[in-house]
Amino acid sequence: MENAMADHKQDTESVTNNQASDTALEKKQKSQEHSQEIPATDSEGYLENLSDWNENVAEQIAQSEGMQLTEAHWQIIHLLRRFYEEFELSPAMRPLVKYIGLHLGKEQARSIYLMQLFGDSPAKMASKIAGLPKPTNCL
Amino acid sequence: MSDILIIFRKPPVGTSWAREALDLALVGAAFGQKVSLLFMGDGVFQLAQNQQPDAVGQKGTQAMMQALSMYDIDDIYVHNDSLDTRGMAADQLNIDCQPITSKALPGLLQQHKQVFNF
């Protein structure tokens, strides 16, 4: 009996695995077509539920903004999420730069560096990709 | 002379006065204004440690207040008498504040171009 159950379990697992890889493949195809994987957002593209965020979603949002995320981007995105966790708010440009100076280093703590990575409104764009609300104290 | 003084006079929960005032402070600072804060009256309760705003289904301002130094808002005053009458001490607050006496209040107000009362 136990063996039968174990076998059955194995079957189910392999089925699930197949399904999983199928879905992964579909997802990949889908994202190449439209990048439809982004969970619900507001009209400006900010996630409605912070808990919907993961690195995959970040990639999708970045892609929809025509951006390719590099290690340098991830460093800022993760630090931004840390800022939000600590202070429960999305920072405007200056506090973000100051926070980067405290935690990453002088080289990165420059608005020009952030603009090179995230474009003209780095605080807004980085918040969007990091799955945080739009910085309220920012035009 | 500093640009803006924001006076926090309401309790931390029950209304959104505390949050609105803090938002204004952060906006001002983000736009390069020199902002000072003054906590007085029931506003000093906003500085209490270990607040539990979730108990009334509200999001508090304690965490946000920790970000003030990131916005270069370092001139934060608390009215001495308001603390005393509420059994609070200046060294037991959520953020670092400079205590200020009633006598010194008019001078503080005069040092600012604009004063906002919340």
Q: How far is CA B8 from CA A14, B42, B69, in A?
A: 62, 8, 17
Whole domain around residue B43: which residue ranges?
A: 2-117
Q: Is any Cβ of chain A less than 8 angstroms from the Cβ of B25?
A: no
Q: φ, ψ for residue A4 (rounded to 5)?
A: -55, -45
Q: What percent of chain A has pLDDT over 70?
A: 72
B63 contacts in A (CB within 8 Å)? 86-89
CATH number at residue B86: 3.40.1260.10
CA B77 to chain centre: 7
What pLDDT is recorded for position A138? Answer: 56
User: Is the alpha carbon torsion for B11, B13, B14, B16 positive or negative?
Assistant: positive
* pLDDT, averaged across chain A: 79
Written as one letter, the residue type at A75 is Q
pTM for the whole thing?
A: 0.78
> B27-62: per-residue pLDDT in tens?
999 889 999 999 999 999 999 998 998 888 888 899
Residue A117 pLDDT class (50, 70, 90 cuts): very high
Cα A92 to Cα A109: distance, rounded to the nearest angstrom: 14
Q: pLDDT digits over A67-102, tens only?
A: 999 999 999 999 999 999 999 999 999 999 999 999
Kindly tell me the burial class for residue B116, based on how many C-beta atoms sit within 10 Å of its own C-beta (0-12, 13-18, 19 or more). Answer: middle
What confidence tier does B75 reach under pLDDT thresholds 50, 70, 90?
Answer: very high
Chain A residue closest to B22 (CA)? Answer: A137
Q: Would you place residue A66 in the very low, low, confident or very high pLDDT band (cuts 50, 70, 90)?
A: very high
| pLDDT for residue A26 | 52
- The pLDDT of residue B71 is 94
> Among residues A34, A74, A27, A40, which one has the least CA distance to residue A55?
A74
Asked if B23 lies within 8 A of A94 by C-beta distance, the reply is: no
| pLDDT at position A6 | 44
Structure confidence at residue B44 (pLDDT): 97
Helical packing angle, A71-87 and A111-118, nearest 10°: 110
Contact B67 A94 (CB under 8 A): no
Q: Which of A139, A125, A138 is nearest to A44 (CA)?
A: A125
Which tokens belong to A3? 């063996």
In this prediction the ipTM stands at: 0.84
Q: State the pLDDT at residue B59.
A: 85
Q: Does A87 touch chain B (CB under 8 A)?
A: yes
Question: How many folded domains does chain B comprise?
Answer: 1
Instruction: Name the burial class of residue A101, with classes exposed (0-12), middle (13-18) and buried (19+) by CB atoms within 10 angstroms of its CB.
Output: middle
Read off the pLDDT of each residue in A111-129 and give the average, rounded to a whole number.
94
Q: Say yes or no to pLDDT of A15 above 80.
A: no
Whether A14 shows a pLDDT value over 60: the answer reads no
* Residue of A129, A135, A115 whose CA lies nearest to A61: A129
| Cβ separation A87–B72 shorter than 8 A | no
Which residues does residue A93 pair with via DSSP β-bridges, in sequence order?
Answer: none
Interchain proximity A89–B64, CB inside 8 Å: yes
Region B63-81: mean pLDDT is: 95
- Cβ-based contacts under 8 A for chains A and B: 42
Are residues A88 and B23, on separate chains, in Cβ contact within 8 Å? no
User: What is the reported pLDDT for A49?
Assistant: 86
Burial class of residue B51, CB neighbours in 10 A (0-12, 13-18, 19+): middle
Tell me whether residue A102 is one of the annotated catalytic residues.
no
Going by C-alpha positions, the residue among A123, A51, A61 that lies closest to residue A89 is A123
- In angstroms, the CA B46 to CA B42 distance is 8
- Candidates A131, A112, A138, A134; CA nearest to A61 is A131
Q: Which of A88, A98, A136 lies nearest to residue B70, judging by beta carbons? A: A98
Measure CB to CB from residue B23 to each of A86, A99, A137 and give the nearest one.
Answer: A137
> CB of B70 within 8 Å of any CB in chain A?
yes
